[in-house]
Amino acid sequence: MVHGFLKQMTSSESNSKFQIPAFFIGGFFLLNSYIAGFFFPEKEVSEISAILSSLIFGLPLVYNALKDLFTGQVEMNELAALSFTASFCTANYKAASVIAFFMIISHLIEQRTECNARKNIEALMRLTPSKAQVLIDGTIIERDANTIKNGDIVQVLPGDRIPGDGKVIEGISTIDESAITGESLPVEKGGDASVYSGTVNLSGRLVIKITSGSGETILSKIKDLIKQAEKSRTPVMKIINRYASWYTPSILMLSGIVLFFTRDIQRAISMLILSCPCTVILSGPVALVTALGAAARSGVIFRDVSILEIVQKVTTIIFDKTGTLTYGNLLVSTIKVFNETNSHTLLYYAGSLEQYSHHPAAKAIIKECIRCNITLSGSADFCETAGMGVRGTVEGKCISVGRMEWIQKQCTPGTISEISHDSYGTSLYILVNGEHCGTILLSDVVKSDAHTTIESLRKLPIANILMFTGDKAFVAEHIARQLGCAFEAEMLPDQKMMRIRDAKSSGEIVAMIGDGVNDAPAVAAGDVSIAMGGIGSEVAIHSASIVLMNDKLDRIPFIFRLSRVTVSIIRQNIMFSILFIIVMMASSASGVISPVLAAILHSLSTVLVVLNSARLLRESEQTV
């Protein structure tokens, strides 16, 4: 950035005690130099104030320029210091003071913008609480949160932040995970549920067994990813840095040529001021930090900012099906009833038996009963036939729940009403006293936002959108038909990876989206790898180039929009900055622009670049 003086002023509390007052004192003397010119005929009164102001503002510029030269870092401090020194040495004290003043104002704008852009990131850094209430032999002992370790038992009261990743062993509460996942709705947590460091306990007392202490939590890993991303650079920024060392000598040469032919040092000073590449240097970092902040606010973490430039070039997007486009577990999708039985009664009979089973189908039935607020009763003679079904007595009625071939053996042939062969999923048939009363269809349901996500990606537009799955072709076809995308089925993990490599070798830029666990090799094989649900996945955080901290598919189009807007804004900033410097330097060389006006125009150009970069904040506002 521009001036080490101002960077220290805004970051060092001890130094700011002297530097911020010095800034205002310098501003007072500058204003006084102009006022004194109106009220006092003696020129010396005005010049004394101007000299004091220019020394207060200008000496830090000269100091930092000399420091850069001695350390071999030739940046823009030298141009600012030279323009100030030239004005001061030619006794143009007011101009020297104004030049230094507006250079500092420009930097203050930059610093303020960076602070605003980083606020979402810094808020994430401050999520971990400072203290934790540790339970030892029934006694609560308060400790520093960074000292807790795996196996510790901690108490978290309503309103407190959770000090480490762990499992709930006592209590029920709602947890605000929005700072990490970007999901605004609180999540209910009970026995054995996973909780994460930095999230807020909203309603009830929780006792938690720590599984990841300080430095090992999901939040710590997110912090590391963000720090890593901030240190990285896009290809455009690398090009700018590569040629930065040539810039200052070239500007000095051009200013020297103008001074030699025109003998007008004011023109050379104006050229030095307007050639300070604040806007060029600012073009990338402010936009990127703003983009990282917008992404973090939406629960999206980038491992490297350079991936933003690749995302906007993607031509093929591949989704893994299970856990990405679908929920990844069985859910009740259809209930068909017969013989005047209603769906509520059917679920009641089925759930009263399935509550004793650990089969995935049983869990789906129980989940649906909970959703429908159905209170279940017990069964004294429950019996389960592995892989086939369950039977027992509920309220004096003989109930059987199971597969077609098993149910048919318990009733008169031909009395079972079959589900249409067009239906997709697992069918559970329910008998009540030997009579077929209904069928419950279970399936891995497509996520509610999957179709709109695919449609949004098509509008961007993305040429090819595919779904990969290891499931049978008829299952994949059923899902793909709902989503309106192409598919490839019955694929093993290594086949998915090879298919992605083939697409890349044919010139496609591939983005692979999965949960980062069972499809980790395929996800890592893409030019862009996006892992969903990273809050619960260690593998995702370490393997993917982009990690989504929740399972909301609407973050996928957001990533592509953010990438395109960010790259577009960086290019706009750079083009504007280069054209501005060329036009203004030419105008300065022709004598149109004075040094004071040059300083004002320089500050205005900084404001324009900052305002253009701030447009990125709208992207997160549209998503959150």
φ, ψ for residue 135 (rounded to 5)?
-95, 120
Closest by Cα among 598, 593, 321 to 444:
321
3-state secondary structure of 417: coil
pLDDT in tens, 422-433: 456 678 899 998
Q: Is 70 exceeded by the pLDDT of residue 495?
A: yes
Tokens representing 392? Answer: 């027992």
Q: Is 70 exceeded by the pLDDT of residue 114?
A: no
Q: Is 459 exposed, middle or buried (0-12, 13-18, 19+ CB in 10 A)?
A: exposed
Listed in sequence order, the DSSP H helices in 212-264 are 218-231, 235-262
pLDDT in tens, 394-420: 988 999 999 888 888 887 666 676 554
φ, ψ for residue 442 (rounded to 5)?
-110, 140
Task: Annotate 532-551 with b (16+ C-beta within 10 A) or e (fewer).
Answer: bbbbebebbbbbbbbbbbbb
Q: Which residues pair with 444 in a beta bridge?
A: 330
Q: Residue 380: its pLDDT value, please?
A: 76
Closest by Cα among 499, 541, 126 to 301:
541
pLDDT in tens, 347-383: 999 999 999 988 878 888 999 999 999 999 888 789 9
- Sorting pLDDT into bands at 50, 70 and 90, what band is 304? confident
Q: Residue 239: its pLDDT value, please?
A: 62
Q: Contact 229/304 with Cβ under 8 angstroms?
A: yes
pLDDT in tens, 614-624: 888 776 555 54
pLDDT in tens, 45-80: 788 888 888 888 888 878 877 777 777 665 556 777
Q: Residue 503: its pLDDT value, please?
A: 92
pLDDT in tens, 243-253: 666 777 888 89
Q: Residue 7: its pLDDT value, please?
A: 44
Q: In angstroms, rounded to a whole number, what is the distance separating the alpha carbons of residues 183 and 197?
A: 16
Percentage of the residues of the chain whose pLDDT score is greater than 90:
22
Task: Annotate 320-353 with b (16+ C-beta within 10 A) or e (fewer).
Answer: bbbbbbbbbebbbbebbbeeebebebbbbbbbbb
Q: Contact 104/6 with Cβ under 8 angstroms?
A: yes
- Number of C-beta neighbours around residue 506 at 10 A: 9
Please state whether the peptide bond connecting residue 461 to the residue before it is cis, i.e. omega within 30 degrees of 0: yes
Element (H, E) at 168: strand 165-170
pLDDT in tens, 131-156: 889 998 888 898 888 888 888 999 99
Highest mean pLDDT among 18-27, 81-90, 97-106, 385-394: 385-394
Name the pairing type of β-strands 389-394 and 397-402.
antiparallel
Name the pairing type of β-strands 206-212 and 153-156.
antiparallel
- Sorting pLDDT into bands at 50, 70 and 90, what band is 83? confident
Q: In angstroms, rounded to a whole number, what is the distance separating the alpha carbons of residues 496 and 504?
A: 13
Q: In angstroms, rounded to a whole number, what is the distance separating the alpha carbons of residues 289 and 575?
A: 19
464 or 17: whose pLDDT is higher? Answer: 464
Closest by Cα among 47, 43, 61, 65 to 99:
61
DSSP codes, 273-304: HHH--HHHHHHHHHHHHHHHHHHHHTTEEES-
- Number of C-beta neighbours around residue 137 at 10 A: 5
Q: Residue 9: its pLDDT value, please?
A: 39
- Number of C-beta neighbours around residue 402 at 10 A: 24
Name the pairing type of β-strands 510-514 and 383-385.
unpaired
Q: Is 50 exceeded by the pLDDT of residue 12?
A: no
Least confident of 160-164, 171-175, 237-241: 237-241
Q: Residue 512: its pLDDT value, please?
A: 92
Q: Residue 485: its pLDDT value, please?
A: 93
Q: Residue 11: its pLDDT value, please?
A: 43
The mean predicted confidence, pLDDT, of the chain is: 80
Q: Residue 1: its pLDDT value, please?
A: 39
Element (H, E) at 131: strand 131-136
Q: What is the dihedral of CA 516, 521, 522, 525, to 10 degrees?
A: 110
331 or 557: whose pLDDT is higher? Answer: 557
Q: Say which residues have a Cβ less than 8 Å from residue 253's Cβ, sequence separation at least 6.
A: none
3-state secondary structure of 94: helix
Q: Residue 358: its pLDDT value, please?
A: 82
